[in-house]
Chain A
Amino acid sequence: MGGVHPPENKFAEKQAIKVLPPPETVVIPLSQHLGVPAVPVVEKGDKVLAGQLIAKGEAFISANIHASVSGTVVKIDSMPETSGYRKQSIVINVQGDDWAEGIDLDKSLAKECTLEPEEIIGKVHESGIVGMGGAAFPSHVKLRVPKGKKADYLIINGVECEPCLTADHRLMLEKGREIMVGISLQMKALGVERAIIGIENNKPDAIEHLSELAAEYPGVSVESLKVKYPQGAEKQLIQALVNREVPSGKLPIEVGCVVHNVGTSYAVYEAVQKNKPLVERVVTVWGTKLKQPSNFMVRIGTSVAHLIEAAGGLPEDTGKVINGGPMMGKALNDLNVPVTKGTSGILLLPEHESMRPTEQNCIRCAKCLTICPMGLEPYLLSTLAMKQRLEECERERIMDCMECGSCLYICPSGKPLLDYIRLGKQWTGKMIRERNQ
């Protein structure tokens, strides 16, 4: 249902992942995930090793945080972060590249695993793994199926439907074997027989590669999907692969599905088989005028400015820098902010593409309503939100909006539809919470 077709512009799809050496300093925010921030377990002046636990996620929905480099903790303070706010962060000055004991840095594939499901989940929990597709929801929470529910399918998201991004694509090509092991570990943890990897058909090489590898793994299959945004949204992906619709306001487990990103599967492999916590990730650096669009394996906490330098430097006419994809990513106001566990890409837009089109009257062309993947009426929701008619917002299901941005992308009048809907969601959410108290 619905969806749009923005230009794909995957400039870096042929660029192999380049491992970036640790920078001079890293800034590691204590909240890189959905949920409660982690609590520091180191102090200023402490020496830390790469892979060492530096903050503990104690709450139910939280995640551990590890040092991504070895060196000295110089500061635990609020620092600017990709959201535009300042967040409590641990700053480490890098010295050498020494890893904590027990971490296996050997690149050979470790296929065998004798751990019990609960032990696998425990490893994932310890290693601070979160959803690497962008939402950064703690993965161990998803792997523990709530009482009374049953998982039938593990769905692996290799769609990468956001234009410009190629991080998942490269990972599937270069770390396919590791991803497959990661998938089998997650299947074991969940106790499911079937896993489906969904990949858009603009990545035929990845589909072919993973299909070949999947032949060795009973119950795992690869499905090629139409190129359509937002095909990789959790609910849309489940519908496309197993034809089940997640009810409004519910989680995928309601229809027996658990969705994990390919990047997450790779992180699970590393955590369980190599004992290596989540301290690095693949980030696409993209720009039309950028010298070398690249895919980098980066230590968490490396600054965005450092990444851009590594890709050839900031082009002269850059007007906007985006953390994430062009459809859902956030524009940055400061380049000295760190890469976090959820950073899938850094995009540089030239000045003339940085501005929104001029706003005109809504001509009621109904395009926003036709393309809305959730079957909502963006034109109506934005008007209701603007007028703060929140009961009506709720009735028209404003809380179902996943903020994919298709409505604003398609609107010929250049209406800031999603801006108002976001506000409306905040207000409506607050109203619902207050009512339930």
Chain B
Amino acid sequence: MNVLTVSGSPHFHTGQSVSKIMYGVVFSLLPAMLVSFYFFGLAAILLTLTAVVSCMAFEFIIQKYLIKGPLTIFDGSAIITGVLLAFNVPANLPLGLVVIGSAVAIGMGKMTFGGLGKNPFNPALVGRVFLMISFPVQMTTYPEPSVFSTKLTDVVTGPTPLTFLKDGISRGQEVSELMPNLPDYANLMMGNMGGSVGEISAIALILGGVFMLFRNIISWHIPVSYLGSAAVFSAIFWFIAPETYPDPLFHLLTGGLMLGAIYMATDYSTSPMAPKGMLLFGVGCGVLTIIIRLFGAYPEGVAFSILIMNAFVPLINRGFKPKRFGEEVKNG
């Protein structure tokens, strides 16, 4: 006679697992990774590898020696944090700083709160902002894109389109004077511009986002509301004073907006649960990003706006519930 297993229903499961989802995200990051390797060469490869390995290493050390709990370094989440941290810094950042950033991202951003699913702030962004504040010079020295360079030092550096524009406008120049000196939209779309490792290519990031949508890893709510609100909000200023404020398409294609909207803001544990909450969260991120870009001290506001909105997530989850069945009386 067989021994029968008894458990509560249901008795079927999708077979979906945390690591399958996480590796799905890693897979979707490949196009953006390849573009960054193409434009920033060996430096970008070394940087990404260093970030991934050190994120996994710090998670291992903390789980093994501090928490003394189960090891989950191969569930893929530390790999994502590593890749995203690398994507958020300049390609020629000294590798030692990346290791420090990884320690902060994993230690302070993730494990302090209990690990995967429990952290309120996006770990990679915590790492990035920490580096930004601690090493402002290295974090704002961006190499110019070239075709697969193997040079690791003495690279040509230059401003990102957002920095270039912000500096110019603050000197009193007009947008129309500055624009001819910047890559055209086709190049911005492909990623042929200065910037952090993984943020440059809008097209590669959108490709990854579409893959995640089809695999049901993310829903459309956050990316669409983030990008949409950023576009609408920046368009208002552009209509009022096109000489001082660049057009919405420029905003969408430059800086970390695509990376932020598709990968950073959609992080499961740091974004709202209900669709309506996700929309509010996305709009908040979009509006804050544009406010920081146009009126803040920094040329880029994606990281800050996402972290600020992360802090509101518990509140949003309380206020925005899914539509309950039978809530409004429908009678034919």
Contacts and interface: CB of A to CB of B under 8 A. Distances in A.
A127 B17 CA distance: 49
Interface in B315-332: 321-332
A416 B324 contact: no
Contacts of B12: 6-7, 163, 326-327, 409
Given A362-B117, A363-B116, A376-B324, A356 B9 contact: no
Interface in A363-394: 363-367, 369-370, 372-377, 379-380
Of A318, A379, A380, A409, most buried by chain B (CB within 10 Å of CB) is A409
Interface string B17-47: 1101100000000000000000000000000
A152 to B, nearest CB: 8
B68 interface: no
A333 interface: yes
B13 A361 contact: no
User: Which one of B4, B11, B75 has the highest number of Cβ atoms from chain A below 10 Å of its Cβ?
Assistant: B11
A376 B274 CA distance: 10
Given A318-B2, A322-B11, A333-B6, A412 B322 contact: no
B8 interface: yes
Contacts of A356: 7, 13
A424 to B, nearest CB: 13
Contact of B21 (A329, A353, A363): A363
Nearest to A333: B6
A408 B219 CA distance: 20
A317 B4 CA distance: 10
B64 interface: no
Given A357-B17, A400-B326, A405-B10, A331 B274 contact: no
A375 to B, nearest CB: 4
B10 A245 contact: no
Contacts of B17: 357, 360, 412-414
Contact of B8 (A6, A347, A366, A422): A422
Contacts of A367: 216
A230 to B, nearest CB: 10
B5 interface: yes
A142 interface: no
A349 B10 CA distance: 12
Given A245-B326, A366-B268, A331 B13 contact: no
B228 interface: no
A374 B324 contact: yes
A400 B324 contact: yes
A1 interface: yes
Interface in A206-221: none
B13 A409 contact: yes
B118 A244 contact: no
Interface string B290-330: 00000000000000000000000000000001111111111
A188 interface: no
Contacts of A314: 2
Contacts of B274: 366, 369, 377
Interface residues of B, number: 44
A359 B138 CA distance: 42
Given A373-B325, A375-B324, A377-B273, A416 B8 contact: yes
A376 B330 CA distance: 18
A255 B2 CA distance: 48
A436 interface: no
Contact of A354 (B5, B20, B216): B5
Contacts of A405: 9-10
A322 B8 CA distance: 10
A329 B83 CA distance: 44
B158 interface: no
Interface string B50-73: 000000000000000000000010
B117 A1 contact: no
Interface string B99-117: 0000000000000001111
Nearest to A4: B14
B269 interface: yes
A59 interface: no
A329 B4 contact: no
A103 interface: no
A397 interface: yes
B220 to A, nearest CB: 12
B16 interface: yes
A330 B325 CA distance: 26
Contacts of A377: 273-274, 321-322
A319 B5 contact: yes
Given A361-B115, A361-B117, A361-B118, A328 B324 contact: no
Contacts of B332: 152, 242-244, 255-256
Interface string B201-238: 00000000000000010010000000000000000000
Given A235-B325, A369-B273, A375-B322, A361 B116 contact: yes
A243 B9 CA distance: 29
A84 B18 CA distance: 33
Contacts of A379: 273
Contact of B9 (A364, A370, A413, A418): A418
Contacts of B322: 369-370, 372, 375-377
Contacts of B118: 361
A242 B8 CA distance: 33
Nearest to B324: A375
A73 B330 CA distance: 52
A410 B327 contact: no
A280 to B, nearest CB: 26
Given A243-B330, A364-B269, A331 B117 contact: no
Contacts of A255: 330-332
A321 B5 CA distance: 8
Contacts of A331: 4-9, 11
Given A320-B6, A409-B14, A414-B17, 14 more contacts: A244-B332, A245-B325, A245-B326, A245-B329, A248-B327, A256-B331, A317-B2, A327-B10, A329-B9, A361-B18, A366-B219, A373-B325, A412-B21, A418-B8
The 4 tightest CB contacts between A and B, nearest first, are A405-B10, A354-B5, A245-B330, A361-B117
24 contacts: A84-B6, A244-B331, A245-B330, A246-B326, A319-B3, A320-B4, A327-B9, A327-B11, A331-B7, A331-B9, A360-B75, A363-B116, A364-B273, A367-B216, A369-B273, A369-B322, A370-B219, A374-B324, A376-B322, A400-B325, A408-B13, A409-B10, A412-B18, A412-B20
Interface of A: 1, 4, 6-7, 84, 152, 163, 235, 239, 242-248, 250, 255-256, 314, 317-322, 324, 326-333, 335, 347, 349, 351, 353-357, 360-367, 369-370, 372-377, 379-380, 397, 400, 403, 405-406, 408-410, 412-414, 416, 418-419, 422
